[in-house]
Every structure is written in C-alpha cells, then in structure tokens.
Structure 1
C-alpha cells in the first residue's frame, strides 16, 4: 500500500491537493492527527481494500502535531511505504488568500505572525519531504498538473472518460460535457427483425456499422476526442462525460457508444460505457 502524506503551510493549497488525489483514486483523509497515522496505516493495510491512501497532516492538530516526526519514524519501522508532499507559498500570497477567505490563521489571529511561527514549526518536516511544491504562482489547474507530473500519473488514471448512450425521447443527458446526436443514422427500429433487438445485439451492430456514414462519423468523432483529451488534461479536467443520443436510446446510440468506447480504450484511455435507456 502506498501512503502519501500531505503537509505544509496553511493557505498553500493542501485541501486542493487532497481533492486532486481523491480524483486520482486515492482514499483521502483530511486533518489526521499524526499519532493516528501508524494505526490508520495498519488498519488500511489489513483490509486489502486500499492500495493508495493520502492524508493531510498539519498544524491544525495543535499539540498533537509534535508527534509528526515520531509517527513517520514508526511508519518506517512498520515497513510502510510512504512519501511526504510539502506545499508552501510566499508570505504575501498566503496573506492575500486568507484575506479573501476571511478566516483566521490556525496558529494566530494575525496572519503574518501565524505564518512566521508555522515556518519555524515545519522546518524539520520540510527537510523530510520527498516532494516540494511552491504554489505561490500556481492556479488550481496548474497545481493539478504539478501533482500528476510529480506522481507520474498515466493518462488513463488522470482522466476518466464516461460514455453513455441515451434516448432523446426520455430527456437529454444532463451531466454530459459533450453530446452527439446520432439520429441522422439509418434506424433499425423500422426493420421488423431488428426492432426488438437492442444495440448490443450482433445483428443490430452489423446493420448500423454497415453504412459508410456510420464509419465516417465514428472516425471523425474519435479524431475530435483524441484532440480534446490532452487539452482537457492540460486544464486539469479529471472526468469527461460523453453522450450519444438517438430517439429511444435502444439501437443506434448503443452501437455508437460501444464502438467509440472500444476504440478509445484501445488507445490507452480509461473508459467506461453505460446505456441509460437501453432497459
């Protein structure tokens, strides 16, 4: 099991980092008292359910934070594989962020005094960090990219693509980022033998895929998606929902969703295909 310990300066973006890692499949826990880390690691290891865990440990723990170094030493004694990611930001940047949030610093009502006190407290932990990220000039999207780059996250883990077929007669796919209307394709509904057979059936698929217009549409669609995917990744997107709709969501959209999903998977993407209205 891999444990990533996120720590660092208050206002440096630890919560955003935790969200990024949760999207990447880590079991995430915020504000864990350091003394509980070894026990938490022991429980997580014993379950065989988690293979990636991330926890935020910082000065919000108060006096419990004094146990941080000792807890890391204990993880080493337990042969637990862990890494420490330390986030920091310049004093002027942290002051600006706290003023925007209108919240007090966890160590002091004065942001400046709290920042300087925290710098001293975290000096030893910073020296033990495996990864150091200065977020002073980073947007949330840039922080996501920095974390993915540090952890060498593969494309299929960074962006989850959900492809769903649906029927327009039952309403458009509400959570879609991209919707393709495939009602222009020849409809198996009007063929007596194919009408009762959904798009998962080989005969239905053979009919829909037998037209040049279908194959050309799929090629153009895949070409567009392969262009968009790296650009969505660059902007920090973690989930892409693509909808293919036909009249009832039973024939054409099912065939197209399956075929586009198959091709994107073969290209190394993390793809799931579902059919909302197939029944």
Structure 2
C-alpha cells in the first residue's frame, strides 16, 4: 500500500495557446494519439497507488467530469454490436464511486491558490500534485518513482530534470549541490523562480510533479502574492526548506511540455511511434517528408 493516497490535479486553465481548439474543448481533453492529456496524468497517478482524485477546475469545464463518468448508452450500444474490445478501452475513463471530486477555482489566482483549495479534502496527510500539461514518457510511472523515494525521505519532494543552462530562465530551478546527489535524490537549499542563466544555482528544473506534506496548506494560507500577482506554489515550498525539508527527484523518463503546441506535437509523435500498429507507417511518412524539398529545414 502506498503512503500517498490522494492527488490534486490543477485543471482550471483556459488553454489559450491552443485556441480556437480550446474554445469549446478543455485543453486537458485534447487527444494525445487516442487518449486525452488528463488520462495520461490519471493513469500515472493510478500506477503510483493514488485512490482519490481531486480536480481543481474552472466554471464551465463540465466536460472533464463527463469524461470520467460511465456512459451506459454507449457501452450498451457497443455490447450489442459485440465490440467488447472498445468497451475495454473505455475502462480507464471510469472512476470508482466517490473517487473523483471537482472543486471550482472561480478566479485564476495561481498554482498555489489552486492547491490550497484542496485542503479540506486532503486533510492531514501527504499528497501528490500532478500538472497534466507535463506528460512524462517513462519505463516506470514518474510519480510511482517519487512515491517510492519519498517513503525514505519524507518532506516535500519536487520532480526535476536537467536542462541546458541557456533555458533555465523558463523554469523554477533547484538550488542544490549536484555533486553531492545521492542517486536521483537532490537535497535542496531552496528554489529560484526563472533565474538568469548566469545566476542559476543549478540546471535542475522543477517540473509538474510534487509530493507535499500537509504543512504546505498553512504556508499557503499565510503567503502573499508572488510573481504575476498570484499565489505561487514554488514560493511556499521554498519557505519550507528549513522546517519541512525539500528534496528534488531526478526522475527516469522524458518530459513533454504539452502546454505548448511544439511540445504537444513532439509528444504525439513520440507516443505514436511507441505503438507497433502505427510506428512503421509513421516512420515511412516522416522519411518521405524529410526527403521532400518543400518540407526541408
């Protein structure tokens, strides 16, 4: 049994980078091959032993709730046609009764504010936070890797990946001694939000997977607005370095930023090439495009 039973999924964003597609479809339901982004995050959480799923959503995004409800009429129609394979493919979209709770964030006030809204549901136990925009392709679910490590370390834990120094200003960066790292574990002295390359304390970037102790809720309640006038989760974690402790976990896997069109397309290609029924034809098509002068770089 995992010691992390609950996970928070901040899904209140409007997905404006994907307009007009997200005018009527929540970004989290955009399909990555044949599964929406949110399904990848939920599947990763399930693989880590998560039992309770808390979505912090926005008014009007009812399609997310509908997606995880059973669709009796559809399944009955498929059963009548003998399409049991398609019924099995729907299984991951079903949530056990009372396993999914949706909270509304009326105004976008930052990731820290979104997480703080889950306080009553999380209670007094450690919990996970998964940002669906960050899709991780890994031999073992990234959150499961973190849960296993967190059982030894305790405290707050953030997922990290190494980035080129020239790109550190796009991320929160872990202030840590990389030379003293114990395997994938990095003991943090702090976190720095989007530093200039010459000032960055390391090249370990924080990405959208967290395991947090319930102390974070008290910190968020006392915390004022940070960058952009919003309640920043990074600031709250940073403030707990000396008291609760913060560890970076350099996960084994490849992260795709599916909050950007570039990252979404790259993820689609990578996951499609993992599918035996798609890979051969897709590789042939890529080779043809690469050899066509019209598409040459």
After TM superposition, the score normalised by the length of structure 1 is 0.26
Of Structure 1 and Structure 2, the greater helix share is in 1
Bigger radius of gyration: 1
After TM superposition, the score normalised by the length of structure 2 is 0.25
